[in-house]
Amino acid sequence: GPSGQGFDEGYLKGMGVMSAEQILEIPIKRFKPTSEECPFCRDAKVKENGSKCLGVCRNPQNVPGPLLYPHQMQEVEDAVRMQVQAMADKDQPRTDHGVQVLWEFSVESGNMERSRYFGFSSDMYHYDHFIGKALKNFDPLVRNTGHAIESVGKMEDGRTMCKVKVTDNVGKDTYWVFIMVVRSFGKYEGCWQSHRIIQTDDKYHSKFLDPLQV
């Protein structure tokens, strides 16, 4: 049956069991931030223009998309931090919301071509398939208890590598590489998005991460 919070896998209070695709269509009741304290931007770093705004609080109220999504006002660290934090709160404000944020930030989501987003060849066309792969391969990110972006550097091919230490839900540190790119077309043109997200615990400190993997 439903939990006290109204969340079970595929369950929305008052609406019964729904498919992942149906859940995506349910509008989220959004915050109405004030200029003094926006719940999205208050923890962001101050940018060169003196603003902390991530742009996401400018979205219309009560629309189906996730609360967090790419925006041109975000820097690369913002885009990484928002994804890790969304997985810490995976099922808030609805089932698998954190996974939907990852999907929205993936530069290859919805593409017909094969992708190495997870470090191995897989399809990125169906959101339903993405949920299962994300929960399996990103298990230490689910309900993580904290993270630190430890380095950000440009790769030879022009992509940006962010190395992130993530503390899982039992207090163990895990080590991740986010390969980030700026999207060149579409509704997120000019925004930072993820090209790869890979757990690299044993290779984290190597200067020679497998180029075929990342």
From the list 52, 5, 7, 56, the residue with the least C-alpha distance to 30 is 56
Long-range contacts of 6-10 (CB under 8 A, 24+ apart): 7/91, 7/92, 7/94, 7/95, 8/95, 9/95, 10/95
* Predicted pLDDT at 18: 80
Residue 74 in this model has a pLDDT that exceeds 50: yes
Distance from C-alpha of 165 to C-alpha of 188, rounded to nearest angstrom: 27
Distance CA 208, CA 205 (A): 9
The structure's pTM equals 0.73
When pLDDT is averaged across residues 96-102 and rounded to a whole number, the result is: 95
Give the pLDDT score at 62. 47
Q: Which residue has the higher pLDDT, 157 or 43?
A: 157
How far apart (Å, rounded) are the C-alpha atoms in residues 114 and 117? 9
Any idea which residue has 């209070």 for tokens?
13
Centre a 10 Å sphere on the Cβ of residue 73 and count the other Cβ atoms it contains: 18
Per-residue model confidence (pLDDT) at position 29: 67
**Mean pLDDT, residues 65-80 taken together:** 93
| pLDDT tens-digit readout, 29-46 | 665 554 445 666 767 777
Q: At what angle do helices 97-105 and 127-137 cross, to 10 degrees?
A: 100
Residue among 144, 171, 149, 159 at smallest CA distance from 196: 159
For the packed helices 76-88 and 97-105, what is the interaxial angle rounded to 10 degrees? 160
- Residues with Cβ within 8 Å of 122's Cβ and at least 6 positions away in sequence, in order, are 114, 115, 116, 133
Q: How distant, in Å, are the alpha carbons of 20, 39, 69, 81, 209 from that of 94?
A: 11, 17, 16, 20, 36
Say yes or no to pLDDT of 7 above 50. Answer: no
**Predicted confidence band of residue 183 (pLDDT cuts 50, 70, 90):** very high
**Three-state SS for 85?**
helix
Question: How many other C-beta atoms lie within 10 A of the C-beta of residue 18?
Answer: 15
Region 74-90: mean pLDDT is: 96
Q: Write down the pLDDT at residue 61.
A: 41
The predicted pLDDT at position 37 comes to 59
Q: How confident is the model at residue 69 (pLDDT cuts 50, 70, 90)?
A: very high
Average per-residue pLDDT for the chain? 82
% the chain with pLDDT above 70: 74
